[in-house]
Chains A and B, each alone.
Chain A
Amino acid sequence: MMPSKGAETDPSNRRNALMKLARLGGLTGLGAATAGLSVWLNARSKHPEENEAASFEPRRNLPPDPNLPEMVIAQGEDPRLLVRKSLEKLGGIRRFVAQGDVILIKPNIGWDRTPEQAANTNPQVVAEMVRLCREVGARKVIVTDVSCNDPRRCFRRSGIAEAASAEGAEVILPEDRYFKRVNLRSLGTWPVLEPILTADKVINIPVAKHHSLPGVTLGMKNWLGIVGGPRVWLHQDIHTSVVDLAEFARPTLTIIDAYRVLMRNGPTGGSLSDVEAKKTLIAGTDPVALDAYAVKTFWNVDPRTLRYLKIAEDRGLGKMNLEQVRLQKVTV
């Protein structure tokens, strides 16, 4: 369009031209940005991969002391007294727990059962252990388990949550946010309950029960309670899996609660006629020997027929032959 006037329209013409130029520049910028974004997104394109799982260095075993027994069997009426006496004979609680430690106590809180039904650890045994740890100055005592039934019911009906809290333990329900994916080497990657990764010392307090799959569930089988996810798969190779998990856990101390033993129809039980009051505690540092002693004493089964014990012994986790174990019996 020809400008009709002279000087007045010149600046507007210039302004128009500048604006057109700016617009062109803007569009070029937008085009460049779009192209750049697309190229960047395209470069990121790759098949989705699973996140890296954290690795975990297993704890060191407690150094053996030739002057102390490796296993103490205590029998008596009061479960709390049994805990104290057996720890005394093993060298005292200070051998296992130092001041300022974060302790994880791993009882069996797997099933929605009352203490009399003996499907979970005796709450008095757990409570006494918590008390002893707090007495020597442990900074935090955590009590937890990945239950099979609804954890809220299990923690309540077993009596363990109340008894442990009363002694000052931090009772943690297994919620989704507490699980971390960990590379358990031979087992592969599994979601593991976090406290076992961060605790200074781990104390295993299982309850002695019948279980159709491995035959019994004692100390080493209790470690299935620290993993979540589809752990039912572990049933397909239960003996190897139990040893894999025991190798990962490496507790400082194991106390098998045989105060009430679920003799048959385990691991869930439900009938009081399946339970026998053996009023015994088996405490020690050799997890293989402890399981061997328990299966022989209560079910009269030759430990050599329990496949996971053989695998564990071959891997150096302990001794199966009870004659080579320094054991001490005490009646309270």
Chain B
Amino acid sequence: MSQSKLPKLRRLAQIVFLVLFFVHLFNTEFRGSLKAATGDIRLPIPYPAIFLLSDPLVAVCNALGSRALYRGLLWSLTILLPTLFLGRFFCGWICPLGTLHHFFSHLKSEKKRGQRLIESNRYKTWQATKYYILAVLLVSSLFGVLMPGLMDPISLLIRSLTVSVLPGLNLAFNAVLDSLYRTNSGVLGFVAHALQFLLNATLLSYKQPHFRQGFLLGVIFITLLALNLRVTRFWCRALCPLGALLGLASRWSILGMEKCASDCDDCRRCLLHCQGGDDPIPGVPWRKAECHLCFNCVGDCPKTGVRFKFPDTGRAERRSANSNANAGPNANGRPNAVRPYETTLIGPQLQRRKVLASVAAGAALLPMFRSTTAFGVEHSPRLIRPPGSLDEADFLARCIRCGECLKVCPNNALHPALTEAGLEGLWSPVLAPRVGYCEPSCTLCGQVCPTGAIWEITQAEKAWLPAASRPGAKPIRLGTAFYDQGRCLPWSMATECIVCEEWCPTSPKAIYLVTAQVVDTQGKVKQVRQPHVDPNRCVGCGACEFACPVKDRAAVYVTSIGESRSRTHQILLQKA
């Protein structure tokens, strides 16, 4: 097959993997059949987080942070091992964020036209930044601070889509459908029905999701995409730590580039659509670690000035058979003899000083974070973690802030943290009972967590419903509920209520009622039942806070103390 056909194949691969990514993302939700389910409800497809599980950066950081490799992360070998042989094919052919960046780079832009476009695709020294970022992230992972999740491309993509883009699209689509229904026109109503039917399994959620920090994460995402209008695949070239990791791993790859100076007209068309900024033009070294293997250079070259060689011959410059190193100028008037220079640079050109600075920065992160009061000294009452979460130090050493748990939670209960977990825990999941509570029989968050920050549990291990647990099993607790008696209707407004007691899912209920005599505004004595919490039974699910009619600031609210994942963050004496 001629190499110039490769870009078409690559485009097909990009589309296939992008579609696959979205199929997986849309299935990371509790939807579908209404078949009876008395046992644990599982997601319909196995490995809903397959893209994260295959992500070598996630695997490496998980291994560094926890000195173990969680469950499905072995899948990352399917990307890492071929990269050793082939190079950064993942970036060019598979990465869904890369595909989106590629698409946006393709849009017409004033700043990227003609010569300016060609110049912008030359290798630039700021492309080395991603390696320094990688150094910071790897070192900090080693010490137990898992920041890589913030910048891992798959994690970033899932998080941004989950928290901002998809909810926004859902809102917009529903608004359009609503307006079509409201016209009361038969034709438009039919169109609306058809659209709804088509999109129900994909774009539309059963319930409109709402997320904290949605706007911020959306703006960051859109900004990254918009940067492509200035520089092609800016994220991939300058910032992506996964790209940097794969770039380092590709130094031994046996897929190499061969440039033929005698065949080259110096038209520079190869640079026109170069994705990686790796200098496929002759006369300068080819930057192996930057190449995305998009093969656009081969596709664009009108002759055969540049070719890929598999296996790599090790000689990146080929002279035509009847030329002589000391002969006169070739057909274009340029000297045939090329001054000796390194034709392929297999690794990034990093400055030792900057690498050391990055390592130092990475090493400094943990002590700087943990010596603040945010970790363990001033416990944040609103740091309520999902059920199955590990102890905070272990949690932060694993959570990559991918947003899978946020996406899958059927009650929209999990949200990206802002201050609850300190700066170190930015965008890790916290339970917000006012928005959604934790359903006793549900264990979906643990099923999708790729790194084990939320360890997968079964309904029996969660043990919130005695009928589904082993007898005598101790329930996983997320926190404890407390009453704000000044805001509670029966406590301070002489009005009957007890919605909290109704909703409390434990049996026997953790909320018990005590009848009390109160005086109402007319001076009449009446009896109301006042609710109390039994901290021995409360599991911290948040159903009481969710249901409480005092919606702006609930009269009963959950705080993290009493969470079973922490040995020390307790109120009551812990008996064996």
Q: B-contacting residues of A (Cβ < 8 Å)?
A: 112-117, 123, 148-150, 152-153, 155-159, 161-163, 165, 171, 173, 175-177, 211-213, 230, 232-233, 235-238, 265, 267-274
Chain B nearest CB, measured from A31 CB (Å): 34
A-B pairs under 8 A by CB, number: 118
Residues from chain A with a CB closer than 8 A to the CB of B502 are 211-213, 235, 267-268
* Complex-state Cα separation, A204 to B55, whole angstroms: 53
Contact at B34–A157, with CB atoms within 8 Å? no
Contact at B440–A161, with CB atoms within 8 Å? no
Smallest CB-CB separation from B208: which chain A residue? Answer: A176
Smallest CB-CB separation from B32: which chain A residue? Answer: A152
* Complex-state Cα separation, A268 to B465, whole angstroms: 10
Q: Contacts A213-B498, A230-B549 given; indicate if A269 touches B41 (C-beta within 8 A).
A: no
The residue from B35, B181, B498, B549 contacting A156, defined by CB atoms under 8 A apart: B35
* Complex-state Cα separation, A213 to B36, whole angstroms: 30
Chain B nearest CB, measured from A241 CB (Å): 11
Chain A nearest CB, measured from B525 CB (Å): 18
**Most-contacted residue by chain B among A176, A212, A270 (CB, 10 A):** A270
Interface size class on chain B is: 35 or more
Chain A nearest CB, measured from B295 CB (Å): 46
Contact at A156–B37, with CB atoms within 8 Å? yes
Contact at A265–B442, with CB atoms within 8 Å? no
Contact at B507–A157, with CB atoms within 8 Å? no
The residue from A115, A212, A213, A232 contacting B547, defined by CB atoms under 8 A apart: A232
Binds A, one of B126-134, B211-219, B489-497: B489-497
* Complex-state Cα separation, A159 to B549, whole angstroms: 30
A-B contact pairs, 13 of them (CB 8 A): A153-B441, A156-B33, A156-B34, A156-B41, A157-B41, A161-B34, A165-B34, A213-B501, A230-B549, A235-B497, A265-B507, A270-B505, A271-B508
4 tightest Cβ-Cβ pairs between the two chains A and B: A161-B34, A270-B507, A271-B507, A271-B466
Chain B nearest CB, measured from A172 CB (Å): 11
Tell whether B503 is near chain A: CB-to-CB under 8 Å.
Answer: yes
Beyond the given A157-B37, A270-B440, please list 16 additional residue pairs across the A-B interface where CB-CB is below 8 A.
A112-B439, A112-B440, A112-B441, A114-B467, A123-B36, A153-B410, A157-B36, A159-B38, A162-B36, A173-B206, A235-B497, A238-B496, A265-B507, A268-B502, A270-B466, A270-B506
Q: A-contacting residues of B (Cβ < 8 Å)?
A: 30-31, 33-38, 41, 178, 181, 206, 208, 410-411, 439-442, 464-467, 489, 495-499, 501-509, 513, 529, 547-549, 551
Contact at A270–B496, with CB atoms within 8 Å? no
Contact at B441–A236, with CB atoms within 8 Å? no
Contact at A236–B495, with CB atoms within 8 Å? yes
The residue from B410, B489, B504 contacting A152, defined by CB atoms under 8 A apart: B410
Smallest CB-CB separation from A158: which chain B residue? Answer: B36
Residues from chain B with a CB closer than 8 A to the CB of A271 are 465-467, 507-508
* Complex-state Cα separation, A238 to B181, whole angstroms: 36
Residues from chain A with a CB closer than 8 A to the CB of B505 are 268, 270
Residues from chain A with a CB closer than 8 A to the CB of B38 are 114-115, 157, 159
Residues from chain B with a CB closer than 8 A to the CB of A148 are 503, 547
Residues from chain A with a CB closer than 8 A to the CB of B41 are 153, 156-157
Residues from chain B with a CB closer than 8 A to the CB of A112 are 439-442
Residues from chain B with a CB closer than 8 A to the CB of A152 are 30-31, 34, 206, 410
Chain B nearest CB, measured from A177 CB (Å): 7
Q: Contacts A235-B549, A265-B508 given; indicate if A150 touches B439 (C-beta within 8 A).
A: yes
Residues from chain A with a CB closer than 8 A to the CB of B497 are 235-236
Chain B nearest CB, measured from A99 CB (Å): 28
Chain B nearest CB, measured from A199 CB (Å): 21
Q: Contacts A112-B440, A211-B502, A236-B496 given; indicate if A270 touches B549 (C-beta within 8 A).
A: no
Contact at B465–A270, with CB atoms within 8 Å? yes
Smallest CB-CB separation from A272: which chain B residue? Answer: B467
Chain B nearest CB, measured from A120 CB (Å): 12
Chain A nearest CB, measured from B346 CB (Å): 53
Chain A nearest CB, measured from B237 CB (Å): 43
Chain A nearest CB, measured from B61 CB (Å): 34
The residue from B36, B495, B501, B547 contacting A161, defined by CB atoms under 8 A apart: B36
* Complex-state Cα separation, A230 to B548, whole angstroms: 10
Q: Contacts A153-B441, A267-B502, A270-B440 given; indicate if A159 touches B36 (C-beta within 8 A).
A: yes
Chain B nearest CB, measured from A250 CB (Å): 26
The residue from B34, B464, B507 contacting A155, defined by CB atoms under 8 A apart: B34
Smallest CB-CB separation from A238: which chain B residue? Answer: B496
Residues from chain A with a CB closer than 8 A to the CB of B466 are 270-273
Residues from chain A with a CB closer than 8 A to the CB of B36 are 123, 156-159, 161-163
Contact at B178–A162, with CB atoms within 8 Å? no
Chain B nearest CB, measured from A94 CB (Å): 30
**Most-contacted residue by chain A among B30, B439, B467, B498 (CB, 10 A):** B467
* Complex-state Cα separation, A156 to B32, whole angstroms: 10
Smallest CB-CB separation from A162: which chain B residue? Answer: B36
* Complex-state Cα separation, A274 to B38, whole angstroms: 18
Contact at A232–B506, with CB atoms within 8 Å? no
Chain B nearest CB, measured from A153 CB (Å): 6
Residues from chain A with a CB closer than 8 A to the CB of B31 are 152
The residue from A117, A158, A171, A177 contacting B181, defined by CB atoms under 8 A apart: A177
